Amino acid sequence: MNRTSIEASAPGKIILFGEHSVVYGQPAIAVPVSQVRAQCRVDGGTAGAGILLRAPDIDRRAYLSETGDDDPLASVIRRTLTALGLATPPDVTITVTSTIPIACGMGSGAAISAAIIRALGEFFQHPFDPQTVSDIAFEVEKIYHGTPSGIDNTVVAFAQPIFFVKGQPIERLTVGAPLTFIIGDTGIKSPTYKVVGDLRARRGKNPAHYDAVFMRMGALARAARAAIERGDEAAAGKLMGENHAILRELGISHPKLDALVSAAMDAGALGAKLSGAGWGGNMIALAAPENAADVRAALAAAGAVRVIETVVR
Ligand code: PMV
């Protein structure tokens, strides 16, 4: 028997260390951001109508039968129904909403997928474990991102800080002392697949050079893991600055990202860097709790269109 209505959600995320190099097998660190979330509600629908998909945030209303295979929302639903062993589409209405900004490195696509997978699992009384949620979402990430590392679907499905290496079982990151992060949004939309594709093309022409750079980023992520585990905020902050410098060198930054990073550092942040795909989207700053308000104000004054504070434990 199905329930009449079920809701599930998944958090946003930010990458602390190792974006891009993670695509090439180097480790990365990511944490959930629960201040922003994707939500999915499943309601019993009209008999014989099949699946109605509603996404009011983007003015979307469609029956699953009208959608193609390259449609990420439809694809996550189809894959989840297969995992549930439901050959005939049930009569349900699936409503998706999200407060996670789109195309700015906060894992919006992966979180929407995770919320849908969880809600359908619970509605049909077959809750999925986090690894299964992550695996299904990963398949859909390929539609959004082309060649995803899998970090986004993993961190939002497990909803915990992770030390991530592509293709390997997840490792939970122990946080020695709470870390206060301020996320500043440039307001510049930057689709991940474009930046990843550009870097892939450049690497193709000179793999030895790029792989050496990615190895340096991997070493930073390992050092950052040790710093975070022992609760050494100052060391973690310094490593963020080094990671940002490498991302700039790789041509992944943007003048507005650099301006926000400088503004955060001038306001006394322990470290700051771009986060996610780059060329726009978000940057993050690590701040001592007593300094967080100053960093927030500095980012807003420097033109951040949205500032979010999150504490990682
Ligand atoms: O979704 P974003 O913008 O946080 O970018 C994902 C991070 C990349 O390393 C650039 C790509 C990937 O698949 O890991």
Distance (Å) from CA 313 to ligand 1 centroid: 22
pLDDT tens, N- to C-terminus, the chain (313 residues): 456 899 999 999 999 999 999 999 999 999 999 999 999 999 998 889 899 999 999 999 999 999 998 899 999 999 999 999 998 889 999 999 999 988 778 999 999 999 999 999 999 999 999 999 999 999 999 988 888 999 999 999 999 999 999 999 999 999 999 999 999 999 999 988 999 999 999 999 999 999 999 999 999 999 999 999 999 999 999 999 999 999 999 999 999 999 999 999 999 999 999 999 999 999 999 999 999 999 999 999 999 999 999 999 9
Residues 96 and 15 in one domain: yes
- Tell me how far the alpha carbon of residue 87 lies from the centroid of ligand 1, in angstroms: 33
CA 184, distance to chain mean position in Å, is 15
Q: Judge if 158 and 236 occupy the same domain.
A: no
Nearest residue to 177 via CA among 47, 75, 27, 312: 312
Give dist(CA 272, CA 75) in Å, integer: 36
- The residue nearest atom 1 of ligand 1, judged by CA position, is 105
Please identify, among 147, 171, 195, the residue that sits at the C-terminal boundary of a domain: 171
- Kindly state whether residues 138 and 241 are assigned to the same domain: no
149 and 279 assigned to the same domain: no
pLDDT digits (tens, 9 = 90+) for 243-259: 999 999 999 999 999 99
Ligand 1 centre from 46 Cα, in Å?
A: 39
Same-domain pairing of 183 and 302:
yes
247 lines ligand 1 (CB under 6 A): no
At 269, which amino acid appears? A
Measured from the CB, is residue 18 less than 6 Å from ligand 1? no
Residue 120 sits in which domain range? 5-171
Quick one: 158 and 180 in the same domain? no
Question: Residues 33, 152: one domain?
Answer: yes
Pocket test for ligand 1, best of 143, 145, 193, 198 (most atoms within 8 A of CB): 145
Decide: 203 in ligand 1 pocket, CB within 6 A.
Answer: no
Q: Check whether residue 46 and residue 186 sit in a common domain.
A: no
71 close to ligand 1 (CB < 6 Angstrom): no
Predicted model pTM? 0.95
**CATH code assigned at 245:** 3.30.70.890
User: Does 158 lie in the same domain as 9?
Assistant: yes
Which residue(s) pair with 271 in the sheet?
286
d(CA 193, CA 146): 6
Identify the domain boundary among 171, 191, 206.
Answer: 171
CA distances from 219 to 17, 212, 226, 273 (A): 10, 11, 11, 16
Q: What is the pLDDT of residues 99-123, one digit of tens each?
A: 998 877 899 999 999 999 999 999 9
- Please enumerate in sequence order all residues whose Cβ is within 8 A of that of 36, keeping only pairs 6 or more positions apart, or say none: 11, 12, 98, 99, 100, 101, 106, 308
Please indicate, yes or no, whether residues 144 and 243 belong to a single structural domain of this protein.
no
Q: Give the whole-angstrom CA distance, residue 151 versus residue 128.
A: 19
CATH number, domain with residue 156: 3.30.230.10
Q: How many domains does the chain have?
A: 2
Question: Domain boundary residue among 171, 205, 228?
Answer: 171
Asked whether residue 18 falls in the same domain as residue 163, the answer is: yes
Ligand 1 atom with minimal separation from the 166 CA: 14
Write out the catalytic residue numbers.
152
Query: Is the Cβ atom of 141 under 6 angstroms away from ligand 1?
Result: no
Indicate left, alpha or beta for 194 from its phi (over 0: left) and psi (-120 to 50: alpha).
alpha
Same domain, 79 and 189: no
User: How remote is the CA of residue 176 from the centroid of ligand 1, in Å?
Assistant: 26
Cβ–ligand 1 distance for 105 under 6 Å, the answer yes
Task: Return all residues near 7 (Cβ < 8 A) that are at least 6 apart.
Answer: 39, 40, 41, 42, 119
Tens of pLDDT along 247-299? Answer: 999 999 999 999 999 999 999 999 999 999 999 999 999 999 999 999 999 99
- Best residue for ligand 1 mutational test, from 16, 152, 279 (most atoms within 8 Å of Cβ): 152
How many CB atoms are located within 10 Å of the residue 54 CB?
Answer: 17
Report the nearest atom of ligand 1 relative to the CA of 196. 10
Report the separation in Å between the CA atom of 62 and the middle of ligand 1, taken as the mean of its atom positions: 29
